[in-house]
């Protein structure tokens, strides 16, 4: 086959047909990188997970290890000091929420089809990101549950004290 026959064959070849609707559905937008989000998700969980581990070891198993007791006391002193009171909510609520958001955005992909006005959401099964998002949301849930029970405990004590004062009069 010489060059002229080859060029003629290429010129007479049928051109592919492009379907715009199917190509739009295939486009997916990844908002975050899964490796970077899992790295940051792990770092956002180091302090809360270690703190919860220390609390479980100290109060459920009644083991008094020096480093764990010191860490719990350090976290308590951060919460008692008015200038560092903001550190605890950041470490136990904001950072785990941010870690969960980063990991969920890393595995979720969005596409919008303008013709059919559909938002297509797909989830990649990256188990490390899914696990980090679940652990992050679990820590946030534990912190909120602790806040609710602590508030209910103090209100119950106030109610009991009011009843005792009313009976004592």
Domain boundaries, the chain: 30-168
pLDDT category of residue 137 using cuts at 50, 70 and 90: very high
In terms of Cα–Cα distance, which of 78, 81, 75 is closest to 53? 75
Q: What is the DSSP string of 15-69?
A: PPP--HHHHHHH--EE-S-HHHHHHHHHHHHHHHHHHHHHHIIIIIS----HHHH
What are the angstrom distances between the C-alpha of 151 and each of 23, 25, 81, 142, 145? 54, 49, 20, 14, 10
User: Alpha carbon 15 to chain centroid distance?
Assistant: 48
What interhelical angle do 34-55 and 66-80 show, nearest 10? 100
In this predicted structure, what is the pLDDT of residue 70? 87
- Residue listed under structure tokens 């951060």: 78
Residue 27: its pLDDT value, please?
A: 45
Whole-number pLDDT of residue 149? 92
| Percent of the chain scoring above 70 in pLDDT | 89
**3-class SS of residue 129:** helix
pLDDT digits over 2-56, tens only?
A: 788 888 888 888 877 766 555 444 444 455 667 778 888 888 888 899 988 888 8
Strands (DSSP E) found in 31-163: 108-113, 118-123
> Rounded to two decimals, what is the model's pTM?
0.67
Helices (H) and strands (E) in the chain, counts: 7, 3
- Could you give the percent of the chain with pLDDT greater than 90? 17
Beta-bridge mates of residue 25: none
Per-residue pLDDT reduced to its tens digit, 89-111: 888 899 999 999 988 888 888 87
Mean pLDDT, the chain, integer: 83
């Amino acid at each position: 086959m010489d060059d002229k026959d080859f060029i003629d064959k290429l010129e007479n070849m049928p051109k592919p047909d492009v379907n715009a609707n199917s190509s739009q559905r295939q486009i997916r937008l990844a908002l975050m990188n899964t490796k970077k989000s899992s790295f940051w998700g792990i770092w956002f969980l180091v302090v809360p997970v270690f703190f919860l581990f220390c609390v479980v070891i100290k109060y459920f198993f009644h083991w008094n290890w020096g480093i764990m007791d010191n860490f719990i006391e350090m976290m308590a002193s951060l919460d008692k000091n008015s200038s560092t009171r903001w550190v605890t909510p950041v470490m136990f609520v904001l950072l785990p929420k941010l870690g969960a958001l980063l990991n969920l955005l890393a595995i979720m992909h969005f596409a919008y089809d303008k013709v059919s006005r559909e938002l297509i959401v797909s989830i990649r099964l990256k188990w490390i990101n899914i696990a980090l998002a679940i652990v992050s949301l679990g820590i946030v849930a534990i912190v909120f549950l602790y806040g609710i029970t602590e508030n209910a405990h103090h209100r119950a004590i106030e109610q009991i004290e009011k009843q005792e004062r009313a009976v004592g009069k």
